[in-house]
A and B are shown apart, each in its own frame.
Chain A
Amino acid sequence: MGSAARVTALVKKEFRQIARDRLSLGLLLLVPLFLLVLFGYAISLDVKHVRLGIYDGDRSTESRTYLRSFTRTEYFDLAAVLAAPAEVDREISHERIQAALIVPPGFSEDIRRGARAEVQVIVDGSNGTTAAAILGYINGITADYAERLSTGGLHGMVRLSARTAHPAGETGSGPVEARSRVWYNPELRSTLFLIPGLVVFILLITTVIATSMSVARERERGTMEQLSVSPVGPFELVVGKTIPYTVISFVITLGVLLGSRLLFGVLIKGSLLFLFGASLLYLLGGLGLGLLISTVAGSQQVAFLISVIATLLPAFILSGFVFPIRNMPQIIQAITYLLPARYYLTVLRGIMLKGVGIAVLWKEMIFLAAFAGLTLLGSMARLRRWL
């Protein structure tokens, strides 16, 4: 019996085993897609419809115009008109408002005198990112208002609402104008940013789960001894275990990519062939990692622990999914270079959003290939000790 025949036999055996645990197979095939849909609709980082409380101590045309320029945007919803500045405390601690604007008496007088008028802004900072975005909006709208005052006349109201409808575009009518243009994701939908991350995350978890228990299970059940007395070598065993799961996880990948295209409108701007190639390398890396964990762990329980700890939170937090890698301390940035998720995410965002190809992404491809090769070879080396 040749090596090819032995591998074929192993693949058949593995498929049969997978088919016997129908529930696991069904879960493995359907749940990733289900989670993509659920999370894809659920997660968003857009800061819009901020609950704003206002206190107008001036009650002038100026103060009303100023405050109205907030509530007519989609960024702010008027949640409370406060009777006194002291009410801010209660409203924020009960989370009825996220930010408050207090226009003090004398606001319009200061403006007419040409002095600097001040407004007070209070923001709930619990979520620093949201608070920074809210402060950014408030600063922007206030700067807009100030600029309209300084360039004379308040006929700029119409332009303001146009600005919020198209965040990218022309602003200002002073001596210097900023003309900003947003590339790759002009509507600034956080979905386009998050969906590739979700795909990366779900595929890693699925592939590692698929193989991480496979060798540990054979050992726990005692079937490893049977394999070790057979002429099967570590290479054949790894190939035999990898092929069925590669097929399964590639089907999952197709489903997930199709789902993000049809449901979330994430177009694939780059080459489809390149996308499949990169995905295949990434899947092999995930399966290899699972196998390696399985050969290192003595029991299924330890395999489960290691694989969840090694993939779940690291792939969420260290891959650049939501937390930008350039914000991390140097040491942790160095650790992220070891994660295949980081590279696959760069590739996916590159292909899906930017439409760039192998000319830009070749380094990532080399790493993905190296990771897959190392984990698969590592598990062969570990298996040699058992066989």
Chain B
Amino acid sequence: MIRMVKSRIVNLIRKEFQQLRRDRRLLAIALISPVLQLVLLGYAANMDVERTPTVVLDQDRSEYSRLLLSRMFSGEQFVPAGYVENDEQVGEALDEGSASVGIIIPHGFARDIRSGDHAEVQILLDGTDSTAAMVGQSYAEMIVKRFSAEIAAGGAVGAIAGGLVSPVARVWYNPALESRNFIVPGVLALLMMVMTTLLTSLAIVKEREVGTLEQLIVTPLRSFEIMLGKIIPFALIGMVDVCLVVFVVTVVFGIPVQGSVPLLFGLAGIFLLTTLGLGMLISTISHTQQQAMITAVFFVMLPMIFLSGFVFPIENMPPPIQYLTYILPLRYFFVIIRGLFLKGVGLSHLWDEAVILLVFGLVIFLVSALRFRGRLE
């Protein structure tokens, strides 16, 4: 009996693979696009605020104004995007977006410094990108303060930089503060979620719309056998995808897995259980392929992209939405994947996330199996 069940499932899997092979494009997309996307998006996803284009209006043209500007552009933070003649041109540069910061050193800057009056520098910031503006503002003000302390301390041009109290900073886990190390493992998790949900969400509704589901129903196959037969090929494709994207992250981006690699694959398998299950659930509750697509994109993929902590920190969200994030499997997988890639923690830190994902996966599977059986009878 068990052998019969097994052989029936194997036959079904073979049939699914045959269908996949006939639709070459589907298989090609499923295997190639995650790698392409990861490379493309991984290089693009960079939130570091540096090399901010800065437009300069130096009306003073003195030793002091030049010194301040050289301090401004000596770091990675600001790069000159043009020197202009008047206020209007500074405004235009910001309007067009050719510069995000404007520095205006007014007439009499050096004179005020020498006479001991307050000399002023104007800094204009494009606040459209609030994060960049905030970081840019604090850097610009810090540079001016250091310059000011430099002058107050020595008076002489070229004296020591830095104030009386200086912070010595040490950064953990991501010492270069590259947002890429944080984002790329996130893109990996997103791609896994998108690909597997995409593949399974049309699996059953497609057969229903084309009319072949009836043929499957009149065979001696049982509902869970049909489901397993549908899921196993996609699970295999999903695992191949995982291998490919982990390879790209470690080799192309040079972000090593700090934790255990077998643990990474094991937990990725558990995560796939939840996304494949969600796709299956969508497929059993939808009537048309278009409904399945709308449900998958709007109710599964978008909330996972926006609310799981991919780039938008969960602690910033209002409490009701924070509660909502607890039902998103990706939320837990992000903790896992960042723990393994960046922090190098082990199962002792991640077991609660792993258990929650496993429970999610099993519940989702059970629900979609029940729905499916209800549909068949």
Contacts and interface: CB of A to CB of B under 8 A. Distances in A.
A178 to B, nearest CB: 4
Given A182-B125, A304-B198, A42 B321 contact: yes
Q: Give the bracket for the number of chain B residues in contact with chain A.
A: 35 or more
Interface in A157-194: 167-168, 171-186, 188-190, 192-193
Interface of A is mostly: helix
Interface centre among A28, A117, A186, A327, by most B CB within 10 Å? Answer: A327
Contacts of B237: none
A205 B45 CA distance: 20
Given A150-B149, A183-B127, A175 B343 contact: no
B63 to A, nearest CB: 14
A122 B170 contact: yes
B138 A217 contact: no
Interface string B303-315: 1011100011100
B108 interface: no
A328 to B, nearest CB: 5
Interface of B is mostly: helix
Nearest to A107: B165
Given A123-B171, A128-B47, A24 B123 contact: no
A83 interface: no
A39 B310 CA distance: 13
Interface in A100-119: 111, 114, 116-119
B288 A128 contact: no
B172 A92 contact: yes
A360 B307 CA distance: 35
Interface stretch (A3-11, A279-287, A346-354): A346-354
A132 B138 CA distance: 11
Interface string A274-310: 0000000000000000000000011111101110110
Contact of B172 (A123, A304, A323): A123
Contacts of B122: 179-181
Contacts of A151: 152
Interface in B147-172: 147-149, 151-153, 162-172
Given A183-B124, A213-B289, A137 B173 contact: no
B321 A38 contact: yes
A42 B174 contact: no
Contact of B168 (A119, A192, A353): A119
Given A122-B169, A178-B144, A186-B127, 7 more contacts: A136-B139, A138-B169, A173-B118, A174-B149, A298-B25, A301-B206, A301-B289
Interface of B: 23, 25-26, 29-30, 33, 37, 40-41, 43-51, 53, 68, 94-97, 113, 116, 118-135, 137-142, 144-149, 151-153, 162-182, 187, 190-191, 194, 198-199, 202, 206, 209-210, 287-291, 293-295, 297-299, 301-303, 305-307, 311-313, 316-318, 321, 338, 342-343, 345
21 contacts: A41-B317, A43-B317, A116-B162, A118-B166, A125-B173, A126-B343, A128-B178, A130-B313, A131-B177, A132-B48, A132-B49, A135-B169, A146-B145, A176-B147, A185-B127, A192-B130, A220-B209, A221-B209, A305-B29, A314-B41, A328-B43
